[in-house]
Amino acid sequence: MFNLTPSETFKETVKIQVKTESGSWREESFTAIFQRSDEERRQELHNKPFAEVVEEFLVGWEMKDLQRMPVEFTPDNKAAFMRLPAAVRETAITYLRTNAGAKEKN
């Protein structure tokens, strides 16, 4: 069985290592909602800056703040997110890896 007409979007967990005030590392995560791209566009993206990939293909998220309150996907919240280099990098890498359709082993 194979679906030639997949949905326009897909979800994937993005994991980010965040340096804490004490100097240790903490893993944070959220569920990204990505727009799919075709193979030609996917190959073009490998030469683009991470921020450009995220700006174009991150179309939503399921995210909670440190108080476990939902973080709405708004232009202001996305702009704040885009100022976090590690988050942008890991989101772009996750998109490029998963949009290709290959599942990684745990």
List, for residues 47-85, the tens digit of each pLDDT value: 899 999 999 999 999 999 989 999 999 999 999 999 999
pTM score, whole prediction? 0.85
Give a yes or no: residue 17 inside a domain: yes
Give a yes or no: residue 3 inside a domain: no
Q: What is the pLDDT of residue 24?
A: 96
Q: Give the burial class of 60: count Cβ atoms within 10 A of its Cβ; 0-12 exposed, 13-18 middle, 19 or more buried.
A: middle
Residues near 8 by beta carbon (within 8 Å), at least 6 away in sequence: 35, 36
Q: What is the pLDDT of residue 40?
A: 83
Alpha carbon of 1 to those of 4, 6, 9, 69: distances in Å?
10, 13, 20, 39
Residues written for the chain: 106
**Residues spanned by the domain of 86:** 9-99
Structurally, how many domains does the chain consist of?
1
DSSP state of 62: E
Give a yes or no: residue 1 inside a domain: no
Q: Where are the beta strands (DSSP E) in the chain?
A: 9-19, 25-35, 58-62
